Structure 1
Amino acid sequence: MTPHAASEITEALCRRAPVIPVLVVEDAAQARPLAEALVAGGLPVLEVTLRTPAALEAIREMALVEGAIVGAGTLITPDDVEAAQGAGARFGVSPGATPMLLDAARAGELPLLPGAATATEAMALLERGYTVQKFFPAEAAGGVAALRALAGPLPRIRFCPTGGVGAGNAADYLALPNTLCVGGSWVAPKEMVTAGDWTGIAALARAAAGLGR
């Protein structure tokens, strides 16, 4: 899969909803009801970060939920790409980008949303054909002002800002012409997941699904 084709797929995913939940799943038994709540609230595209031992099993479980489009986040190495695909991930997200990671995603036919934090990193990815990128860590890298500044010289790139994005500032990012959607964990707070408050999470998802519309 070429980077251009990958970006076409990730752009379509980003346009499905204004927010992609970024999920850290500690217990795979919670994966399916969590995915069901988020999808019911209007957020079908889900990113499960590979930060816990339960992550791959969580991807497998969420992939069984009708309407869910499940991807793997925090892809760092070629092994991560292989593991994510083996678990059923339909796309991948990385905090940054290295030649080995990009090559692995291309060889494995995994649509990748690669991360960039600077103009140079964004240009390097554009040079390879990635027109849709993750802006990370968004707030630490300058936030809305930084992303707005990139829009002028890099009009071909569209971003999914993630990192420090929450209910209080998501709309500011979504108002930018170069933002397709945002990624954030606020729609599935750890305490609500632990408590099994799926109704509450669905309500947060509904509120997030209405942003920028």
Structure 2
Amino acid sequence: MNPSTQRLSAEDVMRDAPVIPVIVLHDVRHAVPLARALIAGGIRMLEVTLRTPQALACIEAIAKEVPDALVGAGTVRSAADAIAASQAGARFAVSPGFTPALGRQCRDLDLPLLPGVATGSEIMMAQDEGFKALKFFPAVQAGGLAMLKAWQGPFGDVIFCPTGGIHSGNAHEFLALPNVACVGGSWLVTGDALARSDWSSITSLARAACGLKQ
């Protein structure tokens, strides 16, 4: 199936590869070559965060020019963010927290959402709205491996994408947990690599990330 027409669920997004890169782009000229570099390394779910004025333009460029990519929007905090991301061509959304209003807007847009949670109450709120594929954020700061292990009992039907404090040195520990489908991390796309247009190193990091969970 062509990725540009593939219907996605949040679980599809989380199970596609071991790592979802968390991407901050300040220059739209970097968007397309970056996406191609990540795809060359086996990563096609790309979270472009809405943290810069160029973010929506970058999402639009990737959506239009890199058909093998499945570009999503990160740092989605409101219904307006979700609408803007969808209009730019985002195929999924990732939020740092969760509100029922955001969940309902994403559902209305048919935009898969990975809602951010950090407590048991937040997990239950997300479940009340029909979400069971969740982002654990900020993962390390909010309890890390110990918290995820504790959640396996009461929330055994939930899968997580821990994000925040995850890097190449500890990602494998998180991925070894049965309730972790993938991790989110910024180490695949550093500001230095973008500044140098060092696409080959990004491809190498993506390839290494794909080997983290066999």
Question: Fold conserved (TM > 0.5)?
Answer: yes
Give me the TM-score of the superposition, normalised by structure 2: 0.94
State the match for 2:129 in structure 1. Answer: 128
State the match for 1:60 in structure 2. Answer: 60
State the match for 2:103 in structure 1. Answer: 102
RMSD value, Cα? 1.0
One-letter amino acid of the counterpart of residue 181, structure 1: C
Distance in 2 between residues matched to 1:65 and 1:106, nearest whole Å: 25
Question: Secondary structure at the residue paired with 2:16?
Answer: coil
Where in structure 2 are the equivalents of 1:9-20 lying within 5 Å? 9-20=9-20
Deviations 1:82-123 (A, max 9, x none): 100110000101010112211211222211111100111111
Where in structure 2 are the equivalents of 1:135-146 lying within 5 Å? 135-146=136-147
State the match for 1:75 in structure 2. Answer: 76
Question: Secondary structure at the residue paired with 2:150?
Answer: helix
Distance in 1 between residues matched to 2:163 and 2:73, nearest whole Å: 14
One-letter amino acid of the counterpart of residue 38, structure 2: L
Distance in 1 between residues matched to 2:17 and 2:145, nearest whole Å: 19
Deviations 1:28-72 (A, max 9, x none): 100000000001001110000000001001101111213110000
- Equivalent pairs, count: 206
Question: Secondary structure at the residue paired with 1:183?
Answer: strand
Where in structure 2 are the equivalents of 1:53-202 lying within 5 Å? 53-63=53-63, 64-202=65-203
Query: Runs of 5+ in structure 2 lacking a partner?
Result: 1-7
State the match for 1:36 in structure 2. Answer: 36
State the match for 1:4 in structure 2. Answer: none
Query: Runs of 5+ in structure 1 lacking a partner?
Result: 1-7
One-letter amino acid of the counterpart of residue 93, structure 1: V
Distance in 2 between residues matched to 1:109 and 1:42, nearest whole Å: 26
Distance in 1 between residues matched to 2:81 and 2:41, nearest whole Å: 29
- Superposition deviation, residue 22 in structure 1: 0.5
One-letter amino acid of the counterpart of residue 95, structure 1: P
State the match for 1:45 in structure 2. Answer: 45
Distance in 1 between residues matched to 2:62 and 2:183, nearest whole Å: 20
Structure 1 runs of 4+ with >2 Å offset: none
Question: 2:103 touches 2:129 (CA, 8 Å); kept in 1?
Answer: no
Question: Secondary structure at the residue paired with 1:22?
Answer: strand
Give me the TM-score of the superposition, normalised by structure 1: 0.94
